[in-house]
Structure 1
Amino acid sequence: MLYELLGAVRVGSLGEIQEVIKTVGMQVLMNGGVIRGVNNWDTTYLPKRTFKNQASHTMAQHFLMRFDCDPETQKIVRTTLGDDPRMVKFSVVKLGEGKLRDISRVEGHAAWFT
């Protein structure tokens, strides 16, 4: 199935966002999945103040990742991101109905983000 992950990492060094993406990517790959693409959306304001790990966040470094994997791997990714103290927020969305003909033309980058 094709999934889209939108993540917000606490503001810090570029290395932190790279480590988070690498961790998620390795989990997907080690469980037989495929990464279609990763987009870094730079640092932007969050819609509202968010509290995580006894800290208040108003800005975060956002990224988008599209990947194919089975539902069990997606659950592992969600658990890992939820436990990671660097993550402020994240959302994983299933794209299409899971049939190859529905998702075969989906590219790795988000065409609606320019």
Structure 2
Amino acid sequence: MLYELLGAVRVGSLNEAKEVIKTVGMQVLMNGGVIRGISNWDTSYLPKRTFKNQASHTMAQHFLMRFDCDPETQRIVRSTLGDDPRMVKFSVVKIGDGKLRDISRVEGHVDWFT
């Protein structure tokens, strides 16, 4: 299955976002998945103030990752991101219905639209 992960990491340093991406990427790869691409969308405002881990966030470092894996690995990724204190928000969406003809042309890189 092809999944798209849109993540928002707390503002601090770019290294925190890189560490989160590395952690997720290693989980995907260790469970037999494939990472199609990672896009850094830079720091921007969140749609509304978000409270996580006793802190208020109005800005975050955004990134997008597209990866192929089985549903169990996707659940592991979601669980890991939910427990990570550096994550402000995230969303994992399944793209297509899993048939190769539907997802074979999906690129890994996605540009930020403003």
TM range (shorter): over 0.9
Partner of 1:47, secondary structure, is strand
Matches within 5 A, 1:68-87: 68-87=68-87
Q: Count residues in correspondence.
A: 114
Cα displacement (A) at 1:111: 5.5
Could you tell me how far apart the structure 2 residues matched to 1:31 and 1:104 are?
A: 21
State whether structure 2 residue 63 is matched by structure 1 residue 94: no
State whether structure 2 residue 15 is matched by structure 1 residue 51: no
The answer as to whether partners of 2:39 and 2:111 remain within 8 angstroms in 1 is no
Q: Percent identity?
A: 89
CA RMSD of aligned residues (A): 1.2
Q: Which structure 1 residue ranges, 5 or more long, are not aligned?
A: none
Matches within 5 A, 1:1-114: 1-110=1-110, 113=113
Could you tell me how far apart the structure 2 residues matched to 1:39 and 1:21 are?
A: 10
Cα displacement (A) at 1:101: 0.6
Cα displacement (A) at 1:112: 6.9
Q: Which whole-Å deviations, capped at 9, do the CAs of 1:52-94 have from their partners, x for residues lacking one? A: 0000000000000000000000000000000000000000000
Structure 1 residues 61 and 111, CA gap change in structure 2 (3 angstroms):
closer
Partner of 1:98, secondary structure, is coil
Could you tell me how far apart the structure 1 residues matched to 2:50 and 2:13 are?
A: 19
Q: Which moved more, 1:77-86 or 1:104-113?
A: 104-113
> How does the TM-score come out when normalised to structure 2?
0.97
Q: Which structure 2 residue ranges, 5 or more long, are not aligned?
A: none
Cα displacement (A) at 1:113: 3.8
Could you tell me how far apart the structure 2 residues matched to 1:99 and 1:7 are?
A: 25
Structure 1 residues 16 and 79, CA gap change in structure 2 (3 angstroms):
same
